[in-house]
Amino acid sequence: MMAAPPLSYCAEQVRTFDSDRFLSWLFAAPAEREALMAVGAFNLEIARIREQVQQPLLGHMRLRWWADVLDATYAGSPPPHPVAAALAEAVARFAISRDCLNRLLAGRAADLDDAVPHSLPALIDYAEATSGSLARAGLQILAVSDEQTKAAAREVAIAWALLGLVRAIPFHARTRRSYLPADLSREAGLDVARLFDRRTPEALRALRAVVERLTGVAADHLVRARGRRRSVANAALPVLLPGRLADLYIDRLQRAGFDPFDSQVQAKAPWRMLRLSAAHLRRRY
């Protein structure tokens, strides 16, 4: 049996740090797959800035560097950086719009401010700017431009981002960050600062109420995405397939009583590739 070819730098980054998307993107044709990995690696580069700097100013300087990289990329002269080079090739081959990548940069800039989203709509705007922009770039790579498919991809992307933020609550808590909307926290009686300092039973009960609400919102977005299924282009499936894995994480949250600190919520879902393969064959997401 011949060994599988080695992964590109970008694909290895996505496999390591965003494995659910990596598995979903494997269903794209080779050229499109590499372009998806390039955009995914770009997303990772800017998403990890917040964890790599101690001062917001330094983070904004790094984001500015990546904005300059985009300038150079669209001018046809990217710097000698593996992600920049791969992104430039993807942009040249698939005409990825600058607007998608600009919106992604703007969304990641919000990570540096450590400001809690003031409302659920504000959090959804953040999800659309980050996960939604990545999905839009993916559709451009897959040459899908109809409005029904774009709307479905937006719904899946928002659901995926919300679930990702819920599952990342323990990680964010270690650095005293919160993406929980202030309005939902007030309604549930959740004092986020107290949650950071000591997870009292009262704080955990309030947290579960907020997590349950956000999980329900994510599920609603998936329902709306699937309501468009008959009009969605099959070519878009690599971008839409994370919806199938979202169901697994929703189920885990429900079984854990919406406690994001439960170990089963943090574990990777088993049989992911089998589930995705079945969904791809059935044209489901």
Q: Give me the CATH topology for the region 114-285.
A: Farnesyl Diphosphate Synthase (1.10.600)
pTM across the whole model: 0.95
Pairwise CA distance, residues 270 & 285, whole Å: 17
Is the separation of the CB atoms in 38 and 73 below 8 Å? no
Give the model's pLDDT for residue 24: 98
**Residue 256 DSSP SS3:** coil
DSSP assignment string, 194-258: HHHH---HHHHHHHHHHHHHHHHHHHHHHHHHHTTGGGS-GGGHHHHTHHHHHHHHHHHHHHTTT
What's the pLDDT at 174? 87
pLDDT at residue number 276: 97
Q: What is the pLDDT along the chain (285 residues), one digit of tens a residue?
A: 445 678 999 999 999 999 999 999 999 999 999 999 999 999 999 999 998 988 889 999 999 999 999 999 999 899 999 999 999 999 999 999 999 999 999 999 999 987 899 999 999 999 999 999 999 999 999 999 999 999 999 999 999 999 999 999 999 988 889 999 999 999 999 988 877 877 788 889 999 999 999 999 999 999 999 999 999 999 999 999 999 999 999 999 999 999 999 999 988 878 899 999 999 999 999
| Domain edges within the chain | 1-113, 114-285
Neighbours of 80 (CB within 10 A): 6
Place of tokens 């009960």: 205
* 3-state DSSP assignment of residue 127: helix
pLDDT, position 5: 73
What token pair was written down for 138? 């993916």
Pairwise CA distance, residues 87 & 118, whole Å: 34
